[in-house]
Structure 1
């Protein structure tokens, strides 16, 4: 189905600054950008954070017709925007008549999933690092003294058990902290080099609300 015919049937023009949908609203349509820019944002701790700016060929709002969940973000037009909008039945019909668009959407969904997996992996690694930093900070503060140190073998065993991580993974994180000049590792001794950096890293853990 040619693009001009698609626009005649499914198209709409959104004026600059207009909100296409808001976070937490119920949604029954997904959108494909034909021209212009759409800003995707989310409110976190009372502040708006821009997640992405989408352009021609990008799509958004698909979760509303795939899983029928509420909108997880807000979409706003940046400049005048031309969109194709589809409800569930319209989307299925469009896919049946234009396999190229369907394959393009599948490709983009796969890329999004890959990106999401990478973000989750990065967040998990950061949490591991922060949890280890917090544990080290607590132990160093409990030790006190002029030059407190922790036994490397005992620390590896304790952290491995507490965090359910292999000892080599814990050692990798400790080595990373040493490379960042936050701690030093000599023989079987771990010594604190930069108390403020270790404290700051421990405080990067997300808090529950």
Structure 2
């Protein structure tokens, strides 16, 4: 911890440290300065990875603004340095600074939509379905981010562990499904096509969506609530 004040301070956290648990009261907001934080949520006994937060991202704001218990768990994924703000100071900034309030509101809305999409995946009982629909959702998000149609090759920048975590399946289940997709020529590792980064490349996104039995306008069963 360095240069503490009454309302905010910077603190270093080691990998594996839990910042807060799902269901806890919200007392602090965390802004990532260095490292990575993962957001996880448990639904019907299945815990899944909802988001990975890096420098410039923040978490913990929703419970404070809505005055409700934490809707997810936050844990340090890589050794990190965080700016920690107490709830009173954060709310003062939120209510007095229109620019900050607007940015927080936009991000909260985006996160709510993102979380609901991922939580819908967990409603599928079969592990293979959850993983395949997780991959479908990543493709949709990549297409939205890049303002492109889901045609042709799509790079999915998730490691096997991250894909399994998001789908709430074991590593072995993820390996089995990835091998099946690779065997059908629908997916290949990023390294095999000389991409300098983790993840996979879907050779033809539309064919993969057909394989999943999901149209580009399809939807999953509804899930409620948002982020921490």
Q: Give the TM-score, by structure 2 length.
A: 0.43
Q: Which has the larger helix fraction? A: 1
Using CA pairs below 8 Å that are at least 6 residues apart, which structure has the higher relative contact order?
Answer: 2
